[in-house]
Amino acid sequence: MQQILFFFIRNKNFLLFSILFFFAITLTIRSHSYHNTKFMSSANFISGGIYKAKSNFTQYFGLIKENQKLMDENIRLRGILEFYKYDSEPVIQDSSQFFFKYKFISARVINNNYSKTKNLLTIEMGSDQGVRIDMGVITTNGIIGIVNNVSKNYATVQSILNSNSQVNAKLKNSDHFGSLVWDTKEPNVVQLIEVNRTAPVKVGDTILTGGKSTIFPEGLQIGTIQAFELGENDSYNLDIKLFNDMTNLKYVYLIENTRAEEIKILEKEGEDE
Amino acid sequence: MNNSEIIQSFFRFIILVLLQVLLLNHINFLGYINPYLYVLFILVFPLDGNKGLLIFLSFILGLSIDLFGDSGGVHAAASIVIAYARPVILKFSFGVSYEYNMIKINKAPFMELITYIFLMVLVHHLILFSLEIFSFSHVLLLLKSTFFSSIFSIILIYSTLVLFSRKS
């Protein structure tokens, strides 16, 4: 008994090291899978608060650019409004349904990563403001990512610049779809893989969200084709240059699909049968 | 360790964490190169201090960096490894004089000091990036990140040491 006790005392540093190392590795492995970084995330009270203080200070430096972006968006929206004014086609019905189906929340980005292989953003909006896991996050120029963790006043967003991320996207011209992933190399270039080889692919073509998921509405712009090659399985792998500058995000919109629940239940019932 | 050293370590801890998460994590030089200055805390921890305490503090230090960076436990793991390996690396860099508490890190000869910093930073970054990237298909990215970040960190750590050693 005494021998064992002495053994523990002699090796106490090694034991401490082993226990803590094991704990750290466990946290690491957990962080590599989606949806379970519950208590170790920057959406908590302390780090959220500090990031908010920092963002309060640094947001002034980007105001000119932000204003320009808002101006551009206003111009675009005005253009659409003018179009509907003189257009009495039943298109209007369609658009009102779009707005009814999706609700928007605006939020400020208080922390943004783009240099790692699994990048997350922290935003200043949480469950108290109606943010829920699996809401889509976009800006005027395109998609940003998906909410993956929520606390009372903050939330973290899994960026599309994350090797776990996978978003359904399609070609604007032909509606051929594929999966949007990231090869971790450049922060403004993502990859659209598994596009059918019959698709007419041209450098400079626009890529839109596919609408096959309940997260993003169909037809949001993502980027343009920069390069393409024919990969395995006879499908195209495309390099997509994003419209968004992922390194310079200040304000984003969150999208809530009010019918996500309904769709999910329906799909589940289909599977059960 | 006396009282003034404990207070000094405490403030060093807070300042290094804030500096790291608010400023240095956002440098992204050439897209992905960041210096990790917080390693300095483990480097200059009093040589006669309790080793178990150092391991524990390194864990908390790494965990705080992880908390802000949303990176699971990668910094914590890398930090405790170098905290645990510190006596070996100290002995390798400074020779026997370390065992008799003869050396002061601030006043050590240049070559010995740089060997110490180099080995500690290299081990730390290697573990950090292997865990962060976590895939064998990105070995090149791993080596590239380790190499460039190490250079950046070593220069920054050495400069900080030189800058703050005059006063003492």
> Which of B51, B63, B80 comes nearest A21 by C-beta?
B80
Residue A261 makes CB contacts below 8 A (sequence gap 6+) with none
DSSP state of A139: E
Q: Which two tokens stand for residue A267?
A: 């799909």
Q: Where is A190: in which H helix or E strand?
A: strand A189-196
- Range 215-234 of A in CB contact (< 8 A) with B: none
| Largest interatomic CA distance in chain B | 49
Q: What is the CATH number of domain A167-242?
A: 2.40.10.350
Is residue B119's pLDDT more than 60?
yes
pLDDT of residue B101: 66
Phi, psi (deg, nearest 5) at residue A203 = -65, 130
Residue located via tokens 């790494």: B62
Measured between beta carbons, the chain A residues lying within 8 angstroms of B70 are: 31, 37, 40-42, 113, 120, 122, 156
Distance between CA A121 and CA A214 in Å, rounded?
21
- Under CATH, domain A45-163+247-258 is a member of which superfamily? Rod shape-determining protein MreC, domain 1 (2.40.10.340)
Distance between CA A241 and CA A224 in Å, rounded?
5
Cβ–Cβ below 8 Å for A115 and B63: no
Q: Does B138 touch chain A (CB under 8 A)?
A: yes
Chain B nearest C-alpha distance from A88 (Å): 50
- The number of residues in chain A equals 273
3-class SS of residue A256: strand
Rounded to the nearest 5 percent, the helix, strand and coil shares of chain A are: 35, 30, 30
Distance between CA B38 and CA B156 in Å, rounded?
10
Q: Does B157 touch chain A (CB under 8 A)?
A: no
Average pLDDT, chain B: 86
Determine the residue type at A118: K
pLDDT of residue B13: 92
Q: pLDDT by residue (tens digit) across B15-63?
A: 999 999 888 888 877 777 889 999 999 988 888 888 889 999 999 999 9
Q: Which two tokens stand for residue A176?
A: 């051929």
Q: Does A156 touch chain B (CB under 8 A)?
A: yes
∠ CA A66-A70-A75, nearest 5°, is: 150
> Which of A25, A42, A117 comes nearest B73 by C-beta?
A25
The complex scores an ipTM of 0.82
Mean pLDDT of all residues in B72-96? 88
Which neighbouring-strand residues pair with B127? Answer: none
pLDDT of residue A37: 52
A178, A183, A184, A189: CA torsion to nearest 10? -60
pLDDT of residue A86: 58
Please check whether residue A251 is in contact with residue A107, taking contact to mean a CB–CB distance below 8 angstroms: yes
Q: Which two tokens stand for residue B27?
A: 């440098």
Residues of A10-23 as b/e, b for ≥16 C-beta within 10 angstroms?
eeebeebbeebbeb
pLDDT of residue B156: 92
Closest CA to A103 of A263, A272, A253: A253
Query: For an interface test with B, which of A9, A16, A245 has the most B Cβ atoms less than 10 Å from its Cβ?
Result: A16
Is residue B137's pLDDT more than 80?
no
pLDDT of residue B155: 93
pLDDT of residue A210: 82
pLDDT of residue B151: 92
User: Alpha carbon A236 to chain centroid distance?
Assistant: 23
Residues of chain A scoring pLDDT < 70? 33-43, 82-100, 273
> A105's torsion region: left (phi>0), alpha (psi -120 to 50) or beta?
beta
